[in-house]
Amino acid sequence: MHTGSGISIWFFIGALLTIYGALILGYGVYSLAAPPERPPVLHELHAGIWWGAVLLVVGLGYSYAHLPGKRS
């Protein structure tokens, strides 16, 4: 039987969440600096910034917790 010597899928999920979080956060900051001509409903809540920051933190947490070579 194969032992768990491979890379955990949770590391890749964390990396993906980190990338998505950085992209969404970047766009949220951009839309704060240069607001759209016709802003969407509830634009003043800055959901892109909040959601991007949450995804970034969760993704970094998953990636750190499941680093390849790190023993659990």
What are the tens digits of pLDDT across the range 13-41?
Answer: 999 999 999 999 999 999 999 998 999 89
Helix axes 47-65, 9-33, angle to 10 degrees: 160
C-beta of residue 49 within 8 angstroms of C-beta of residue 25: yes
Mean pLDDT of the chain, nearest integer: 91
Would you say residue 20 lies in a domain?
yes
Would you say residue 3 lies in a domain?
no
Q: Which domain holds residue 47?
A: 9-35+43-65
Number of domains in the chain: 1
Would you say residue 17 lies in a domain?
yes
pTM: 0.84
